Structure 1
């Protein structure tokens, strides 16, 4: 179970389109890990006191309540208690010791995560920034949305994907700039090239023994945990079309992005960030392709404008160059549970609790499926009304056609009479 320090909690930290769905679908196949699709609820908790407008009103009262009556310590304690109820509710009866919360954009609240669960494990998932930008464009094209990299970086209003690709990326690399016993760096490119090897190392970081075949997620597609994972309907829309990791998306950014997009994006990020992330060779390839040698420093004017947009929209204030806190002296790290006979015995659970956990998971999957069906039904009704409207207009137009023929014949006869010809 997760304790108040965060032992047993694993935070998978990255920006969207970095490969977090792929990482999670493999991790969840371990018998002692519970992982599902994106949760995001911690972001909702941290912004709870901001009280967005509601139909029933009272936003100013709620804000005043939190500011005047609820101390920061009490608010933090209450949020921690709520989060523990959610996390441990998932773990109860599952036989798992760890829960993985993979929620892109948790970079939004790194300071708060460190206060809330200081002993949680953090996995820093890295990917070539150009491939991330290409993935944004590819997925939006697939879903019918329109993502313009240049427009998003230059837009006068907040565009969260531009924040992801710039401030989010920079912030996470500042956070993980120094080695830390509770942090582990996972590279997407290595994961898809050597999935078993990377899963073995990742399990070692968590203090677990690797379980054979866990990276071959296609073999687990009919399991209860897989049902819950896919029922969420978020993450990589192409994931379910493969049975195991592949390298098709490793270096396809030149097939998706154009030279102008690559030039602008690399200029905004700066060469130093690529080097820090370990993608210096990819940057050199971009320089050869565009014919531009990029400066070491990022475009501060663009980054400052994006930061101002985010602050104005969310009221968040980040500590500049914030880094993962040093370990707390004297605090026992109980998250490293070795696969000993004792721990194996502890993993045995009451069959009744296991059945109840399965029922909860299936209910959650059913609720998600019902929501997808409801959205599909609403869309069908909307299209049906639109079709009925068009057909009604078409019928009205057709009703005028016989009368139009009569007018045309009558006009022709008048013209003949006036011309003196029959």
Structure 2
């Protein structure tokens, strides 16, 4: 999507920059786990701001962040900042930049996990914990944001699968929404280097033929451990949520509690100390119980 939307004269972008996450301590302090006491630092800073009510910190923060995008914006109408983990701060981005256009791409969470296994060669549950919040909390946060912002015309929600299956139609509609002229040449992204860099899709960043590499990746078979994880993950999400999220289905005959997923759940929970991990898991369990009682 990033390659397609930047493949024109009006739009510029770069490899995933994580710009806003670098300033998450001012945008959403609860995300930061530090060697010093970040909660105390947050309280101290808020006390300072409260003593100077005439100083609009939000406006200064917004100006600073917009200045960071200036090098990308020279000569362009739009700048695209694409970073998957912006799901962590979706409401904050909307508050900071109310005039921005936000595109949220949803993908079947089961296929996201499968893609992580294949793309990043993740073979063990310990290595998968690097994506723990993305898998456990990401889909729910995106759903919550969509429910709260579905009437905002500056938000655009779409499914990754629709982009793959109806590329021209989806991209044409997005260009119309952006008020940028669409031509069929936009679909030819081979010569677009704006988005390439250290971060992002390794297939697209490669100089090899993209379609050939993707085809080869689909052939790779998952291990028994990985398949057990997917079954446990599907059971964790539940059929109701998958259907609500994007009308996704999974063979719920195989979806069940598995040792692989249970092991994953209990790994590296210390990483979630500042994220109220236990409270969030309680909320997830309560929601699942509510769904069961209201079938």
State the Cα deviation string for residues 272-314 of structure 1 (Å, max 9, x = none): 2210133434x1xx33xxx43669xxx9xx98x89x7565145
Structure 2 spans left out of the alignment, 5+ residues: 285-295
Describe how 1:344-355 pairs up with structure 2 within 5 A. Answer: none
Work out which of the residue numbers 79, 92, 114 in structure 2 matches 1:99: 79
Work out which of the residue numbers 254, 266, 270 in structure 2 matches 1:292: 254
Which piece of structure 1 moves more, 121-130 or 252-261? 252-261
Partner of residue 202, structure 1: 174
Distance in 1, Cα, partners of 2:39 & 2:18: 25
Distance in 2, Cα, partners of 1:209 & 1:247: 31
1:278 aligns with 2:260: no
Work out which of the residue numbers 112, 116, 132 in structure 1 matches 2:92: 112
Aligned residues: 265
1:90 aligns with 2:59: no
Distance in 2, Cα, partners of 1:247 & 1:272: 34
Work out which of the residue numbers 120, 124, 145 in structure 2 matches 1:148: 124
| Residues 1:179 and 1:247: Cα distance change in structure 2 (over 3 Å) | farther
Report how far residue 127 of structure 1 moved: 1.6
Aligned partners of 2:118 and 2:220 also within 8 Å: no
SS at match of 1:99: strand
Aligned partners of 2:91 and 2:145 also within 8 Å: no
Structure 1 spans left out of the alignment, 5+ residues: 1-22, 154-158, 322-422
TM-score (norm 1): 0.53
Computing the radius of gyration over CA atoms, which structure comes out larger, 1 or 2?
1
Report how far residue 123 of structure 1 moved: 0.9
Aligned partners of 1:131 and 1:252 also within 8 Å: no
| Residues 1:77 and 1:183: Cα distance change in structure 2 (over 3 Å) | same
Distance in 2, Cα, partners of 1:242 & 1:206: 31
1:45 aligns with 2:26: no
Partner of residue 133, structure 1: 113
| Residues 1:30 and 1:257: Cα distance change in structure 2 (over 3 Å) | farther
| Residues 1:82 and 1:29: Cα distance change in structure 2 (over 3 Å) | same
Partner of residue 67, structure 1: 46
Distance in 2, Cα, partners of 1:275 & 1:204: 28
Report how far residue 65 of structure 1 moved: 4.9
| RMSD (CA atoms) | 4.0
| Residues 1:52 and 1:261: Cα distance change in structure 2 (over 3 Å) | closer
Report how far residue 85 of structure 1 moved: 0.4
Aligned partners of 1:191 and 1:198 also within 8 Å: yes
Report how far residue 62 of structure 1 moved: 5.9
Work out which of the residue numbers 150, 158, 169 in structure 2 matches 1:179: 150
State the Cα deviation string for residues 204-257 of structure 1 (Å, max 9, x = none): 121222133112111x24xxxx1x532x311111113566668956x9499336
